[in-house]
């Protein structure tokens, strides 16, 4: 059976997957992933780039051996633990804590001597701790503003706080798990990573809005015709949009995967992988949360509303009537 045929059967209700009825399983998976992410965010924790923590950075062109760099730094800063990485096939990057102007020139000279190149072949830059703290505060502010705007837009668009809250919880789920993956693999968190986080949150929100739009359409119809419970109508909406979500996610992941797994090997560490990792993990988790987290949360939030409970009673009575078949409740 092709995806198009499967999608058509799911859309019409000929075939159905009980996403809502199995929500406890999805919640368990989400809780485990968030718990593991929380643990690794504490230890080993995130590795922040010098843009956030401050520091000095040197790039040696036309060289790829990292050993001379460590020896050169040790000759100037015996107690320093530099981070030395290869950038593709033609340069080496050295990062240290923030150094003074004299130490900056001494390190450039030591690196030039170690690699037998001209000091002009070595680029250097320094970021002070106060600048790093300012970048950190702005990144946090950007995330907070994003969440506030999401709450306002979702609340105004769907005219219900439950959809806004379910969307926010799904976004927090996506952000924590993506950050946890960063902590596990040890990739640096840079301003490009923050851009990636905001991008995948926007992508996840878009996916959630598509599903919720269908949920609103189906539940409005259910309240009008009294032939499905709220849970059943929401479950139908997920079935109607799941194939689209999968197809969209796969298509979006292909170029990101190429950047992450192929571009990183060709272009080197730190070139594109910081943002591509956020995009790759975030798109996967965002597609998962829009289907398995956001909609089940919405159903649970509205389950105790008087109108939703009254609809469930009407459907039960309709189901009990002779010769009448109603949709399952997905309870």
| 96 sits in which H/E element | strand 91-96
- The pLDDT assigned to 28 comes to 95
- Residue-range domains of the chain with CATH: 10-48+131-320 (1.20.1640.10), 55-127 (3.30.70)
Mapped onto helix, strand or coil, the DSSP state of residue 64 is coil
CA quadruple 248, 254, 259, 265: dihedral positive or negative?
positive
Rounded Cα–Cα distance for residues 280 and 253 (Å): 6
Q: What is the token pair recorded at 161?
A: 């706080």
- The pLDDT assigned to 34 comes to 95
pTM of the model: 0.80
Rounded Cα–Cα distance for residues 205 and 219 (Å): 20
CA distances from 132 to 23, 56, 191, 203 (A): 42, 12, 11, 28
Rounded Cα–Cα distance for residues 147 and 142 (Å): 9
Question: Would residue 54 be called left, alpha or beta, if left means φ above 0 and alpha means ψ between -120 and 50 degrees?
Answer: left
Rounded Cα–Cα distance for residues 272 and 252 (Å): 16
- The pLDDT assigned to 180 comes to 92
* pLDDT per residue as tens, the chain (331 positions): 566 676 677 666 677 889 999 999 999 999 999 999 999 999 888 888 787 777 888 888 877 788 888 888 999 888 888 888 777 667 788 888 888 888 888 999 998 888 888 888 788 888 776 776 787 788 788 888 888 888 888 888 887 889 989 999 999 999 999 999 988 888 778 887 888 888 888 888 888 888 999 999 999 999 998 888 999 999 999 999 888 888 888 888 888 888 777 766 565 555 577 788 888 888 899 889 999 999 999 999 998 899 999 998 888 888 776 655 545 555 5
């Amino acid at each position: 059976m092709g995806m198009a045929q499967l999608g058509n059967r799911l859309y019409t209700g000929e075939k159905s997957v009980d996403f809502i009825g199995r929500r406890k399983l999805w919640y368990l998976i989400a809780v485990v992933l968030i718990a593991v992410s929380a643990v690794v965010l504490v230890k080993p924790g995130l590795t922040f780039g010098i843009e956030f923590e401050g520091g000095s950075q040197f790039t040696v062109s036309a060289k790829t051996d990292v050993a001379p760099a460590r020896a050169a730094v040790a000759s100037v800063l015996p107690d320093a633990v530099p981070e030395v990485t290869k950038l593709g096939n033609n340069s080496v990057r050295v990062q240290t804590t923030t150094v003074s102007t004299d130490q900056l020139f001494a390190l450039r000279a030591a690196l030039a001597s170690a690699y037998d190149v001209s000091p002009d072949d070595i680029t250097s830059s320094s970021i002070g701790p106060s600048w790093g703290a300012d970048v950190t505060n702005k990144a946090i502010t950007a995330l907070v503003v994003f969440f506030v705007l999401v709450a306002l837009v979702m609340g105004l668009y769907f005219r219900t706080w439950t959809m806004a809250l379910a969307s926010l919880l799904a976004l927090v789920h996506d952000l924590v798990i993506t950050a946890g993956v960063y902590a596990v693999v040890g990739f640096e968190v840079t301003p490009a990573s923050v851009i990636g986080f905001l991008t995948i949150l926007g992508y996840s929100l878009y996916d959630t809005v598509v599903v919720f739009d269908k949920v609103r359409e189906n539940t409005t119809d259910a309240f009008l015709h009294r032939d499905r419970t709220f849970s059943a109508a929401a479950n139908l909406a997920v079935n109607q949009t799941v194939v689209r979500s999968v197809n969209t996610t796969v298509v979006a992941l292909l170029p990101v995967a190429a950047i992450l797994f192929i571009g990183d090997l060709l272009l080197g560490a730190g070139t594109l992988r910081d943002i591509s990792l956020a995009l790759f993990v975030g798109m996967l988790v965002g597609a998962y949360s829009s289907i398995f987290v956001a909609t089940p949360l919405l159903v649970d939030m509205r389950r105790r509303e008087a109108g939703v409970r009254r609809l469930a009673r009407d459907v039960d009575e309709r189901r009990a009537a002779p010769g009448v078949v109603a949709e399952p409740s997905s309870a």
